[in-house]
Amino acid sequence: MANELPKGAPRRIDALKPIVYQCNRCANCFDLSWLGQYNKCPAYKARKFESYLSRGKFNIARALVDGVIDYDQDIAERVFSCAECRACAEHCFKFLDTIEVFAAMKADLAERGLVPQRLQEGLGGPDGLDVTHNIYRAPHKERLAWGPAPERVDRPAETVFYVGCSSAFVRQNMAIDTAALLDRIGADYTVLSDEWCCGHPYLAAGQPEKARQVLEHNLSLFRQVGAKRVVFNCPGCLKVFRKDMPALLGESLPVRPVHVLEEIAHRVAEGRLRFKPLVPKAKVVYHDSCTLGRWLGIYEAPREIIRAIPGVTLVEMARNRRDAYCCGAGGMIRFHYDDIASEAGADRLREAEASGANLLVTSCPACLMQFQQTRNRLRSSLQVMDITELIVRQLERTEYI
């Protein structure tokens, strides 16, 4: 049921009217025709109606700011279908921040009680995100069940390893492998027993105030241990701290947020890390996480690492780097839009198969889960692996310089 707000209540979308009016309906958000592919948007690909596409949602936004229509459940169904892959913004002819417009619409819809039911149910309830501080509804006391060394927990250190919900609860091998990498490079780091979810699910559900609250909690923990930088293996968590936190809190970060691949690639380039040959040899295709790529601009670091492993031939999908297609795991759409997420995952996995690779490597826990589930569903022979696992398996020598 929608919330009753006073007539004429302020809306975030109205403040973005100048941006909304700049869309000239050029259709650059539709296609990648120069690559032989005619789609960028998973929601549009699955639902077929333009109102699910960036241009269509801008038409809705214009009708809203012009007072022609008002928010309702049909609009919510379209706005929340966005996987936040940022492909439309990356290729916008006018360089418009399309995701900023959609985020404003989400927040307006959330204030009016128009969050899609299954998404709202995924966040709420007695074991929801507000209570357990993770999206998987697991007991908060199990956050360190992946088994960090006791001497690493809650100790003063300049580096915090921010584990994230997915690595802590459902893809614990990523937490174990990342900790192993930090040990191998001699990092002085700590993990936090009271770490909370980064807040991305709240942002995806149009609830920035709740995201601000969890960010303030995590920042207080960083200050307690004297951290100067925070290392992530989840691009989604990193994006929240690097991109969203300064805007939400109105201040610059007191810590430097980095992805673990940036640290590893730097050491590989300096010759401080060596890899043993991969046996048997393999063709590896790398999937660009939308968040690590289009949101954060990290494209080459993972490729440089993969190329440095003897016995590996790196191949590319037709759509790669800034043109890479979303796997369908972003924006929390799996909670309410199973068809969109599943179709995008299948499309991307088939594109990876077409590259001739034996192994599909990614650098995001959400992408990893999506590809593993899709591989099983499609009975694909393509192996799927997170890049941290590949690195740990093949590391031969470390030099601390």
Q: Do the Cβ atoms of 46 and 40 come closer than 8 Å? A: no
Within 274-386, where are the H helices? Answer: 290, 300-307, 338-354, 365-378
pLDDT of residue 144: 96
| Model pLDDT, residue 400 | 43
What's residue 160's pLDDT? 97
CA distances to 143, 152, 271, 277, 383 from 395, rounded to whole Å, are 27, 22, 12, 9, 20
Least Cα distance to 244 among 71, 56, 107, 40 occurs for: 107
C-alpha distances out from residue 385 to 67, 185, 320, 360, Å: 49, 22, 18, 6
Low-confidence ranges of the chain (pLDDT < 50): 1, 399-401
Please count the other Cβ atoms lying within 10 Å of the Cβ belonging to residue 67: 8
Q: What is the pLDDT of residues 253-272, one digit of tens each?
A: 889 999 999 999 999 999 88
What distance in Å separates the CA atoms of residue 376 and residue 382, rounded to the nearest whole number?
10
Contacts of 168 (CB under 8 A, 6+ apart): 134, 143, 144, 145, 146, 175, 195
The amino acid sitting at 58 is: F
Q: Which domains does the chain have, with CATH numbers?
A: 12-114 (1.10.1060.10), 130-264 (3.40.50), 274-398 (3.40.50.10700)
